[in-house]
Amino acid sequence: MMTTYIFGHKNPDTDAISSAIIMGDFEKLNGNSEAKAYRLGDVGAETKYALDYFKVEAPTLLTDDLTDQDVILVDHNEFQQSADSIDKAVIKHVIDHHRIANFETATPLYYRAEPVGCTATILYKMYNEQNLEIKPEIAGLMLSAIISDSLLFKSPTCTEQDVEAAKAVAKIANVDIDAYGLDMLKAGASTTDKSEKDLLEADAKSFNMGNHVVRIAQVNTVDIEEVIDRQEALENEMNKVSAEEGYDAFVLVVTDILNSDSKILVTGAQKEKIGQAFNVQLENNTAFLPNVVSRKKQIVPPITDILS
């Protein structure tokens, strides 16, 4: 048998990394001994905290050509967010909780997408549907992914299914949700030791919106102004990357994980429309967005609507 490559999106967050590992375990339990988890980028501080806590090794960085190779996508489907050779791969499964866009295959596949807060929640349901054992370390990664994507259940994307799954796997992993969750989120929230490039690449995705390409990066922090104080340097890097990659707008979303608010910094030819999308006037390329924390549900849809 040839390897089945399992991976999440580029610039992987905790859900992308964890779900690849979890799906690899799920496949092995179902007899696919050649299933292997990979990653499409560096492991962030928050994810490293989770992996270290539950003593799980990070997946291998994917560098292989995927032409005619079997792959399983988790936590994404859009090709611009996936491996460079994804259009030449044989996609067998997709497990995701995002919008479906820029995606097609030549052959039928198993596709499962649900409007929940986290891919790991879907995977938790899949284990239960097949009565498969969830090992403590797998439960710990499920919990970490749910906490990360839901910002400890504060995100509007969080559903009752996410909360119920988190409570169930927390028991298996034998951890206190609130204590562990806050420690994990704080581990990924420090920005002082990161370069502007690091901040803009750590959790960034590109989106096709009408005739435009928009780059949206998100930084979680406990101090928004700690990031915005570096505005000039951030804008320089955003403009540089946009010129190189052809982005029509670059949006940096700086999210306060304690107060559940965000501030956006916007550059590019479409920046005024970005402000209009949120019914705000950008001041010095920035705007405060109270009660906004979710890129998937609160950032991408209004920008898509105004640019499409």
| Binding residue positions for Mn(2+) | 9, 13, 15, 75, 97, 149
Residue 195 tokens read as 């370069």
Query: Helix/strand/coil (H, E, C) string of 212-274?
Result: EEEEEEEEEECCHHHHHCCHHHHHHHHHHHHHHHCCCEEEEEEEECCCCEEEEEEECCCHHHH
C-alpha distances (whole Å) from 268 to each of 138, 195, 229, 304, 305 are 42, 21, 20, 16, 18
Find all residues with CB under 8 Å of 211, minimum gap 6, and list them: none
Binding residue ranges? 9, 13, 15, 75, 97, 149
- Of 233, 250, 244, which is closest to residue 197 (Cα–Cα)? 233
DSSP assignment of 176-212 equals -HHHHHHHHHHHTT--TTS-HHHHHHTTEEEEEETTE
Q: Are the C-beta atoms of residues 205 and 11 closer than 8 Å to each other?
A: yes
- Of 114, 194, 206, which is closest to residue 161 (Cα–Cα)? 114
